[in-house]
Amino acid sequence: MLPPHRVVVAAFPGVELLNVTGPAEVFSMAGRIAGSARPGYTVRIATAGGEPVATSGGIRLMADLALDEVDGDVDTLLVSGAVRVRDHEVEPVLDRRIVDWLREVAPGTGRLGSVCSGAHLLAAAGLLDGRTATTHWRTAGRLAADHPLVTVDPDPIFIREGRLWTCVGIASGMDMALAMVTEDHGPALALATARTMVMYVKRAGGQSQFSVPLTPPAAPGDRLDDLRVWIGEHLAEDLSAEVLAARLHLGVRHFSRVFRRRTGTTPAAYVESLRLEAARRLLQDSAHGLPEIAALSGLGSVESLHRSFRRRLGTTPAEYRRRFR
């Protein structure tokens, strides 16, 4: 009998509770369903000194061990994240004890992942350089600005590059954990785990975190926020960088730099994300054919619709409709 898969989740004061307990519960449930016939999972929560920590919601989280007690082979190491609000700006919490520990321990782990703004901790430890990663949409722009060697894609709910996984956090940490269970034991156990936990759907990593209903209202007097709202209301129109820059009376290069600094992505990628989201909602909620959906979403043609779905979601419009409608 092979030993169980060892999972360690690093946590620190102020961490989001579900960022820790969501993935932990998925692994625990998968192990219970697998039974004694095959290796399950052991899940341990590690904090700096092995002490309990208060989560962002005030609930105390007990630890199983201290960071320096994490020894031997770790099959999966997950780093949870936390944010704080300063001067109306959301910023990630960088616990330096976790960052320093990651530099020492992470290279020897089998699988390394971050949950939500835990990606900022991985990046601060130099573990995301030259990689593509994601994080929660509220801090994606900050991750891109602070770590130019990291390619930040704020759209997918999780991204895997070899042994490195990043996800946007909160509920998506459970989706990423299910994908890891699939890698370890196959889709049957992952699906059984999702059903047992009454998860609405086992989402693929390409599914977007950025949904139109979640778009916040424009801040009063913020011209770029006004433009972002206007884009969402005019998806079928010409939304080239030249047109968008002209609306703000800026040069194209300056506009593109400002837009990327504020949003963590390029104007073209942002527009495509909104158009793709609109197409997905039409596929889910309407009976329109593909030509109509391509036109209404602003993607133009069925060929462009297919290209966007293939490139961004790794599937076809028809397959997406079959799975999510």
Determine the pLDDT at residue 3.
84
Tokens of 201: 């759907």
Determine the pLDDT at residue 311.
86
> Can you tell me whether residue 174 is helix, strand or coil?
helix
Determine the pLDDT at residue 210.
43
Domain segments of the chain: what residues? 5-196, 212-324
This prediction has a pTM of 0.68
% of residues, the chain, pLDDT over 90 = 66
Binning pLDDT at 50, 70 and 90, where does residue 190 land?
Answer: confident
125 or 36, higher pLDDT? 125
Whole-number Å distance between alpha carbons of 16 and 21:
9
Hey, what CATH class is 5-196 in?
A: alpha beta
**What one-letter code names the amino acid at 139?**
T
Determine the pLDDT at residue 87.
77
314 or 246, higher pLDDT? 246
Which of 100-104, 214-218, 285-289 ranks highest by mean pLDDT? 100-104
Determine the pLDDT at residue 203.
58
CATH architecture observed for domain 212-324? Orthogonal Bundle (1.10)
- Nearest 10 degrees: Cα torsion 250, 252, 258, 264: 150
In this predicted structure, the answer to whether residue 207 has a pLDDT above a threshold of 70 is no
Determine the angle formed by the axes of helices 187-196 and 172-185, rounding to 10 degrees.
140
Whole-number Å distance between alpha carbons of 49 and 130:
32
Determine the pLDDT at residue 281.
83
CA gyration radius, the chain: 21
| Sequential DSSP letters for 39-102 | --EEEEEEETTS--EE-TTS-EE--SEEGGG--S--SEEEE---EEEETTEEEE---HHHHHHH
Determine the pLDDT at residue 215.
46
% of residues, the chain, pLDDT over 70 = 92
Binning pLDDT at 50, 70 and 90, where does residue 324 land?
Answer: low
